[in-house]
Amino acid sequence: MDAKVPLTGTAFLSKLITQYAYIHQRTVGKTSEEYIRQIGLRTGEWLEDFYGEKGSEWSIDRYAEVIIDIKNSIGGHFYIASVSPDHVIVKAKECPFGDAVKDAPHLCQMTSSVFGGIASRKFGYGKVALRKRIALGDLGCEVAIYFGPNESEEGDVFENLRRTPDKGDPFKWEEDTLLLLNEQLRQSDEMVTKLLNELEELRSQVKTEKL
């Protein structure tokens, strides 16, 4: 059978991540978004090392160039739509996760927290409005990032973020965060076990009816 898209490591990993995110969201509900948010914030700080020293000053143009390069470097097709002193608008024709992101739309929280986290650390404030999303069926994505309070549209606000000390590792999770994630995983395990038991009972009922 011919595949519509050649199987590559990127395609396989994207599908794997989105399916994991889908199962996680189904088992732990809204808390899965906070899980993605935390990973995005830490990933954004980690990525800053690739584009300049953490804590160094960036211009708005530099910020826009960096967030576009981040997305395109991992398989997206993003471009700058406009740059203003108080906000930036970026658009995308393709998501890094491809069409698989439709299985787990809450992964868009990763984009929000990476863009907003970097804006907050560089400019003191970041508000991210996900105007259009491929994950929800739009033909493309449109994201606005504000660098100061703005009531013109709703969005995720990021400010007063903790900054990892010099030579520190943003992925060294605090104990309370680990406890939260551990509780989420426990709930996931319990839900999966319950579903498997229900499937086994259903299968047994079907066999009984056939007899």
| pLDDT recorded at residue 2 | 43
Q: Are 122 and 57 contacting, i.e. CB atoms less than 8 angstroms apart?
A: yes
Query: What is the rounded distance in angstroms from the CA atom of residue 202 to the CA atom of residue 198?
Result: 6
* pLDDT mean values, one per 10 residues, the chain (211 residues): 59 72 69 80 86 79 95 92 96 90 88 95 95 95 96 92 74 65 64 74 73 62
Q: What is the pTM of this model?
A: 0.74
Strand boundaries in 30-119, DSSP class E: 77-83, 87-94
| pLDDT recorded at residue 123 | 93
| pLDDT recorded at residue 113 | 94
Interaxial angle between packed helices 108-123 and 31-51, expressed in degrees from 0 to 180 and rounded to the nearest 10: 50
Q: Are 102 and 137 contacting, i.e. CB atoms less than 8 angstroms apart?
A: yes
